[in-house]
């Protein structure tokens, strides 16, 4: 199993926040994929990782999976979830354990994902096709 170092994810998201254009983001993502490919090692069951090109392709797929959406798209997705009958408030509206003003923590009852995190990723899809 391949794990992406958490600091790499944080650095990637930080760089992408500073680069609003999609083209610029793709260039940054490619740079991070090349960096990640350097850290991947051959594994017995990892055929795709056995060549430098295979490692780079795998790294590109991994990076694409963690690219974030824009803030406006993130807010659009969460507003859809907030209006959806399938949303559950883990913390927030109606909960007695949260101080006033704390953002709600939202869980989808269909996929069980915490939407505050899932809605951030470009690769995420609503299981009912709402985004
Ligand atoms: S992910 Fe889709 S189904 Fe789940 S709460 Fe959001 S809009 Fe509803």
Note whether 39 and 17 are same-domain residues: yes
Q: Is ligand 1 within 6 A of the CB of residue 79?
A: no
* 43 in any annotated domain: yes
Note whether 33 and 76 are same-domain residues: no
Number of domains in the chain: 2
Q: Residue 99's pLDDT is what?
A: 53
Note whether 40 and 14 are same-domain residues: yes
pLDDT tens across the length of the chain (131 residues): 456 777 887 888 788 877 767 778 888 999 999 988 888 776 556 555 568 888 899 889 888 888 888 888 999 999 999 999 999 988 766 554 545 556 688 999 999 999 998 998 888 999 999 99
Closest to 54 measured CA to CA, from 2, 127, 96, 94: 2
Note whether 62 and 75 are same-domain residues: no
Q: Residue 122's pLDDT is what?
A: 87
Structural domain boundaries, residue 52: 6-66
Q: Residue 98's pLDDT is what?
A: 47
Are 113 and 81 a contacting pair, CB within 8 Å? no
50 Cα–ligand 1 center, Å: 39
Atom 1 (ligand 1): residue with closest C-alpha?
Answer: 126
Predicted TM-score (pTM) of the model is 0.71
Atom 2 (ligand 1): residue with closest C-alpha?
Answer: 126
120 Cα–ligand 1 center, Å: 14
Reduced to 3 states (helix: H, G, I; strand: E, B; else coil), residue 24 is helix
Residue 99 is encoded by which pair of tokens? 């101080």
128 Cα–ligand 1 center, Å: 7
Last residue of a domain, one of 46, 66, 86: 66
Closest to 8 measured CA to CA, from 32, 31, 40: 32
* 126 in any annotated domain: no
Q: Is ligand 1 within 6 A of the CB of residue 88?
A: no
Note whether 32 and 49 are same-domain residues: yes
* 129 in any annotated domain: no
126 Cα–ligand 1 center, Å: 5
């Amino acid at each position: 199993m391949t794990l992406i170092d958490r600091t790499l994810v944080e650095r990637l998201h930080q760089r992408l926040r500073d680069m609003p254009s999609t083209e610029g983001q793709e260039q940054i993502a490619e740079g991070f994929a090349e960096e990640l490919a350097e850290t991947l090692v051959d594994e017995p069951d990892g055929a795709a990782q056995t060549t430098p090109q295979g490692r780079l392709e795998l790294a590109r797929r991994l990076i694409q999976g963690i690219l974030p959406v824009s803030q406006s798209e993130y807010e659009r997705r969460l507003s859809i979830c907030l209006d959806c009958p399938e949303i559950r408030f883990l913390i927030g509206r109606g909960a007695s354990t949260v101080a006033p003003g704390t953002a709600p923590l939202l869980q989808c009852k269909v996929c069980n994902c915490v939407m505050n995190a899932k809605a951030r990723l470009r690769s995420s899809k609503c299981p009912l096709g709402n985004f």
